[in-house]
Structure 1
Amino acid sequence: MGIDLHFMDFVILGIILGIVSIYAYFRYREEKHKEEKMLIPNLLSYRDKYIREREMYTKRAEKFKEKMIEVEKEFEKIKERIPDYRWTEEEKEVLRNLKGTEFERTFTVIFQLLGFKVYEPPVYKDHNIDIIIELADNKRICVDFLDYTQRKRINERYIRELIKGKEKYKCDSVWLLTNRFLDDDLEEMIFRYDINLFEFNQLVRFFPSYRLVDDYDENRTRFHNYELLYKETHDEVLRRDLWIKEVEEKIKEIKKKRGEDED
């Protein structure tokens, strides 16, 4: 059975659709008007929220900054106490067994904490030189670290390479640091080439304990952690500053379009 629509049915349907369309249009206008009316209050609400958050992050950043200052003061106290870092028997045993980069890194940091400027050769272990240290009077010293496992490497050719490095990097002297003892023949050869030898006993006598490096590492780790937290929190402050500025500019733009007083 087909649907038989007469002319009046189409008219009624058209009227109904027209009424629905008009209602929908006015509802849309009404909602649009409400939205526009609430736009500035909503923006002001966001601005207040960002201001509160900026204040919160600012206080947090200040606390991290204070922590950084405290840790930095502790670092200065560590440097002041360097003469107190004497070797215990247990620490001496640890020193005897330091190897490779651990031995090198420990005394490199000690040199830095003692106030020396430390440089690395452009080429790794160039002429057997590990680091170059510079004294307050601008004298330069080539330094070679030789742990107890590397003593067999020492021969006249090895020593001549150190002397070549001294000449290449214009150092005033060469220091060879080792955490054990060398044979008398090797010592005699080293002294013949005017190289300053620091064996185990001299390391313990003239240098502070590796505990100094441990305390330094712990202190610097704490400082860098607080520094990272400060930077991240400070970035949040800057981000809120930007958002507040954007919201205020948007409010001015809306008021200008409406012809309202910006005050």
Structure 2
Amino acid sequence: MKPDIVDISIVLIIAGIVSYYIYLRYREEKKKKEEQLIPTLNYYKDKFSKEKVEYSEKAKRFQEKIQEYKNKLKEIKESIYRYKWSEDEKQLLRRLKGTDFEWTFTELLKILDFKVYEPPVYKDHNIDLLLKVNNNLICLDFVDYQQAKKINERYIDTLIEGKEKYNCQGIWIISNGLFDQRIKNYMINKGVQFFEYNQIIKFFPSIRIVEDFYETETKLNNYELLHKETADEVIRRDTWIKEVEEKLQEAYQKQKVEK
């Protein structure tokens, strides 16, 4: 059964009424939104401005902490002579081996302001580090107390080959053990400078300085990270405030034209 003209007319009238109602609601919501735009933008401008002040104050506190720990690192370096070896620290030195021994003395050398470089090839010719001393390059090898007993002439000759390869002016061996007299004589004849346990105690500050320096440096790095993150938040707020201000200017201009 085909719909007659009356049914079609009723449907069209209803559709028109619904469409008009939707249009009125749209106009009402749009007007409401436009009326709320400026207060909303001002709210966010105030919000971001307050947050910027808060983050700026945090960044300032973190910067103060950064300076504090930089000063502490400087104090540690300037107080090397105070780091005397206690009996407990001597015992700890005796027990260090492998990577712990290497890491501890690598950090100690850095604290003492030596320039430290790794060879291009790991432990090439028994060389652990290349050390710059008064513009001279030194081949450096760490030998813990267990390895010290196994050092022989061939081991030293390999180091000498590495010295020639890297054009070093000397060879240093640092060990928390003791070498036998025969191998010490061989090293002396070959011009190899060695520091045994006793020489370490005599010529180096206590390894406690490494612990103090590392702990302080870690705190410094943490505060530097916090400062960067906080400073980034300040930059974000600056950007957001600028965007809001641009939108506010547009809204005021539009409001002025409509009036």
TM-score by length of 1: 0.89
| Residue correspondence of structure 1 range 1-263 to structure 2 within 5 A | 18-135=16-133, 137-258=134-255, 260=257
**Partner AA of 2:114 in structure 1:** F
Shift of 1:255: 3.9
Find the aligned partners of 1:220 and 1:109 in 2 and give their Cα distance. Answer: 12
Shift of 1:22: 3.0
Shift of 1:209: 0.7
Superposed CA offset, 1:138-177 (max 9, x none): 1222111100121244111111111112222222211111
Shift of 1:76: 0.8
What secondary structure is seen at the aligned counterpart in 2 of 1:133?
strand
Shift of 1:6: 9.2
**Partner AA of 1:90 in structure 2:** D
Overall identity of the aligned pairs, in %: 51
Shift of 1:13: 6.8
Superposed CA offset, 1:205-244 (max 9, x none): 0001110000011001101111111111111111111111
**Partner AA of 2:128 in structure 1:** D
Of the structure 1 ranges 10-19 and 83-92, higher mean CA displacement relative to structure 2 is found in 10-19
Shift of 1:23: 3.5
Gaps of 5+ in 2: none
Find the aligned partners of 2:254 and 2:35 in 1 and give their Cα distance. Answer: 13
What secondary structure is seen at the aligned counterpart in 1 of 2:131?
strand
Structure-2 change in CA distance of 1:224 and 1:260 (3 Å): farther
**Partner AA of 2:56 in structure 1:** T
CA contact (8 A) 2:146 2:177 kept: no
Q: How many residues align?
A: 257
